[in-house]
Amino acid sequence: MAHPALDLSGITVTFGGIHALTDVNLTLKPGQIHALIGPNGAGKTTLVSVLSGELKPDHGTVRLSGENINSLKPYQRARRGLLRTYQLTALFQHIPLKQNILLSLEARDRARLSIGDLFRFGVSKRYASEVAEILENFKLTDKADVVPSSLSHGDRRRLELAMAIIANPSVLLLDEPLAGLSTADAVALVEMIQHQLRGKTPVLLVEHDMDAVFSLADEITVMVNGNVLLTGSPEEVRNSEEVQAAYLSDEDDF
């Protein structure tokens, strides 16, 4: 049997005695979009940090395609294809959008640092056609030379997503990709995720927007107070009284 794309078992994280995550298990199957939901403070962002390697868990193991990656640093995980986006967009603010994309392509093809980089020039020429295509796909063509710090929020979100997708990840973590977007922008981005990722890349989606979650997810994990409450299909989650009691009842957009 093929290994799951991503497999977490028994993840526990404490901050000064307080349990942020307690014995969290989660399995992301190849090709699936798996949503992670829960009220604020449920530990979703903590879990994403554990996955990307920015935070070390006290207990538990993280496996990427069956390989234990617990001891790997963020850049090493990224080189194995585990990429993430950030809740607050994290772009290279003062260099043009096109270069942001170039960096992502460079990371895909040649992440390793080598002295040879000093003697290689013309990265923009080498990737010219690919960059043009990406800009087209993500509707950013007319902003190619703009720096992210002067982009609109929606554009920045799209760029953030583009940079993660084009690096051809084996697993993609999307940390609240829709946060702060207008309805129209959110719909466009959901469309983009469907189109670009569905069936190709396994995605762990952390999101508050329930419409988006239920339209995208193949499977949903609900977390409350650092514990996994339930994992199941959207139908099961929607019908679970436990979930409704803990979470969904007081959520306006459900």
Partner 1 sequence: MHGRLEIQSIVIPLLAIAIGPIVALITDDVYVLHIFERALIFAVAAASLNLILGFGGMVSFGHAVFIGLGAYITGIMSNADITALWLQIPAILAVTGIVAMVMGLIALRTTGVHFIMITLALAQIFYYTAVSSSTFGGDDGLVIYERSTFFGLYDPWDSWQFYGFVAIVSLGLIWLVTAVTSSDFGLRLLATRENPQRSAALGFHVLGTRLLAFVIAGMVCGLAGMLLANQSEFATPGYANWQRSGELLAIVILGGVGLRMGPVYGAFAFILVEHTLASYTNHWALYFGLILILVVLFLHRGLAGLVERVLRPRAAKRPEFEEAR
**Sites of contact with partner 1 (CB under 8 A):** 52, 54, 73-76, 78-79, 83-84, 86, 90-96, 99, 102-104, 106-107, 111-113, 115, 117-125, 145-147, 163, 167
Q: How far apart are CA 181 and CA 219, in angstroms?
A: 24
- Find the shortest distance in angstroms from Cβ 129 to partner 1: 15
- Find the shortest distance in angstroms from Cβ 246 to partner 1: 31
Q: How far apart are CA 236 and CA 28, in angstroms?
A: 17
- Please say which residue, 16 or 122, places its beta carbon nearer to partner 1: 122
- Find the shortest distance in angstroms from Cβ 105 to partner 1: 10
- Please say which residue, 63 or 108, places its beta carbon nearer to partner 1: 108
Residues 6+ apart with CB under 8 A from 86: 160, 175
First-to-last C-alpha distance (Å) of the chain = 37
Strands (E) across the chain are located at: 6-15, 18-28, 33-37, 59-64, 67-68, 82-84, 171-175, 203-206, 219-224, 227-232
What are the backbone dihedrals phi and psi of residue 90, each rounded to the nearest 5 degrees, phi first? -120, 90
Helices (H), 55-172: 74-79, 97-110, 123-126, 128-137, 153-166
Question: By the 8 A CB rule, do 205 and 161 touch?
Answer: no
- Please say which residue, 86 or 247, places its beta carbon nearer to partner 1: 86
- Please say which residue, 36 or 101, places its beta carbon nearer to partner 1: 101
- Find the shortest distance in angstroms from Cβ 36 to partner 1: 18
- Find the shortest distance in angstroms from Cβ 169 to partner 1: 10
- Please say which residue, 111 or 132, places its beta carbon nearer to partner 1: 111
